[in-house]
Amino acid sequence: MRLETRKATVVGSGIMGSGIAQVIAQAGIPVSVYDSFPEALQKGESSIRNSLARMLKSGKIKEEDVNSIMGRINFTGSLDEALKDSDIAIEAVPEILDLKKDVFSKIEKTASPTCILATNTSNIRITEIAESLKNPERLVGMHFFNPPVLMKLIEVIKGEKTAESAFQYVYDFSRKLGKTAIKVNRDTAGFVVNRISAPESLFFALIVDRKMDRPEAVDAFAKSQGLPMGPYELMDYVGVDTVYHSLEYYAREIDPDYGKAKLIENMINEKKLGLKTGHGFYQWENGKAKIPKAEPSTAVEILDIFALEINEAVRLIEDNVADPADIEKGFCLGMNRPFGPISVAENLTNREVKERLEQIHSRFGINVFKPAKSIEEGKLKEVIKGKPKQKQAPSRETSSEDNLLNIVREGHVVRFELNNGKNNLLNSKVLDALKNAVEEIWNDRGIRVVVVAGSGNVFSAGAELTQYIPDAFDFMEHSRKGERIFRLLSEMPKIVIAEMRKYALGGGFELSLNCDIRISTPECLVGFPEVTLGLLPGWSGSQRLSKLVGMSRATALILTGEKFTGSKAFEYGIVYRTYDDSQIKEKTMEFAAELARTVSPVAAALSKRLINKGSEVPMDVGLEMESIAMGTIYTSHDFMEGISAFVQKRSPEYKFN
């Protein structure tokens, strides 16, 4: 069992090899780069130096960092020298099976018996490459994405004979490099990201193959949907030959239908490979495609793309290739997309996905496009949730909805801590977790005060805008959902305190406005930036802020998108108290405990309702409500206890009745 990596080796000094070596060196690990071609080594070294120069210019590293990073990289034409004392050897040669087999045969003969072997293949099954090895249990897939220095994802793939210890070592090593690693537990062509993209690559190849529309029109459609690059521009960018060889490989390994795109095959014969040859689907100049202007295509709908991605993701789950969370994470990072097939599937019905896949299959007659078994059987929602987790015994500190909300109880106080990344962004799952937590303690008489805070040092920077929402009606319902869940906080029979740190923006600010009392750090950044993003405060902010600070100030703050500090929020009357960041958690919890001890729960609950409902009705109605509340509280234990404690000069012992 390796606890650390003392030295690594990269075999191949091309774009991927040199990039991988730079990543390793930047992580503080010595690395040798081997290539049998001296000019390739020189080009690799130059590539790393140029990359570091760009990082230096942008301020990401310092001058001394450049020297120390380069000092950890050894370029050599000797395989023996490169592999000496290495704990891991990573192959990064072209995507040719026989070449990879030959390279690993040589590595195995030279490397230490304990050296882990890793391949940077992007499509080829690890089990096939391992056929050349006497000890195939040493080989693990370690798929970096291009460019390795910038892309955060590494797919770690387990071959049929890969040892569990080697698999875990490469996973841990990937994380030590500062990357996000996902586990591919079963060897399959294309692994996760490329496998999910494969059906749509075939789909778009067939669109032009059958003259359903022009590449520029389809690309215009893709960009109109917010995708960073259209499918044909992307094919040109990565190389039409790369796409062709991948489809050719999938035709052998997965389904012969992947080999039915003839136009791409003709482009290979004509050397129209895209960026690398200057011509593919488009002409390329200075690294940019010259794409003719065109109206967005009507031959493609966004649901076509999503349905194909969901379908292949479901197949991966069915085959136990990877779990839903890793599939989602990997696809988002590997494709530089804000959401992946799992989150899209959560917002669609099984029927919608199935019917769209059946339409695509009928349109093209391609088996790859048929609905996966789980979708055919109506089990989409079930399969994307993965295996159910075992319930754990309750404890003082619990969590809900996949750890998106930490719940900590301290006496009569409960603390809800948002736990969704460093900025605690709010999405449907976070809202659901908050709703469940509120409903769970609503009638819990042992809890009198609720503190809503953020884990780490951030309250919430707002809504997760990258969440996939299918259409305008669903977006409206998403707004209603947030409004109603937040309103539960204002209506629950407890005192609710918002602890605002670093950011309380957009939806995060709205969350705080639905709490009864706000406590903030002086420097916390507060505000509604929605109008600068083409949005508006949609979780009750447009209504609640004006009730707190008046229509004039609320109008100005919302229409300008101004961000202001916790100190200014205190001046505006939004915030009740401010504390330094180092003290705010302790002081807020002390304040909550004090309220739980000294304030009658019944009086607090009725007062909240009078304040909130009274602001929505005429004065006479509000006064009538107030007198009824007074009559109700007169017969309560809390009223009797409060008066007795006052007369006897002791602390009251309230019982919430």
Question: For residues 648 and 654, is the Cβ–Cβ distance under 8 A?
Answer: no
- The CA distance from 268 to 601, in Å, is 76
Report the run of H or E that residue 57 belongs to, with start and end: helix 38-57
3-state secondary structure of 657: coil
- The CA distance from 518 to 523, in Å, is 14
- The CA distance from 88 to 355, in Å, is 48
Catalytic residue among 91, 510, 594, 641: 510
CB atoms within 10 A of CB 625: 16
Question: For residues 607 and 638, is the Cβ–Cβ distance under 8 A?
Answer: no
- The CA distance from 453 to 458, in Å, is 8
Question: For residues 358 and 345, is the Cβ–Cβ distance under 8 A?
Answer: no
640: left (phi over 0), alpha (psi -120 to 50) or beta: alpha
Catalytic residue among 301, 530, 586, 616: 530
Q: Where are the beta strands (DSSP E) in 401-491?
A: 405-410, 413-418, 449-454
530 as an active site residue: the answer is: yes
Closest by CA to 197, choosing from 148, 247, 272, 128, is: 247
Q: Is residue 612 packed enough to be buried (19+ CB in 10 Å), middle (13-18) or exposed (0-12)?
A: middle
**Helix/strand/coil (H/E/C) assignment for every residue in 196-247:** HHHHHHHHHHHHHHCCCCCHHHHHHHHHHCCCCCCHHHHHHHHCHHHHHHHH
Parallel, antiparallel, or unpaired for β 517-520 and 525-527? unpaired
**Angle at alpha carbon of residue 570, lines to 568 and 575, rounded to 5°:** 130
- The CA distance from 449 to 475, in Å, is 32
Catalytic residue annotation: 510, 530
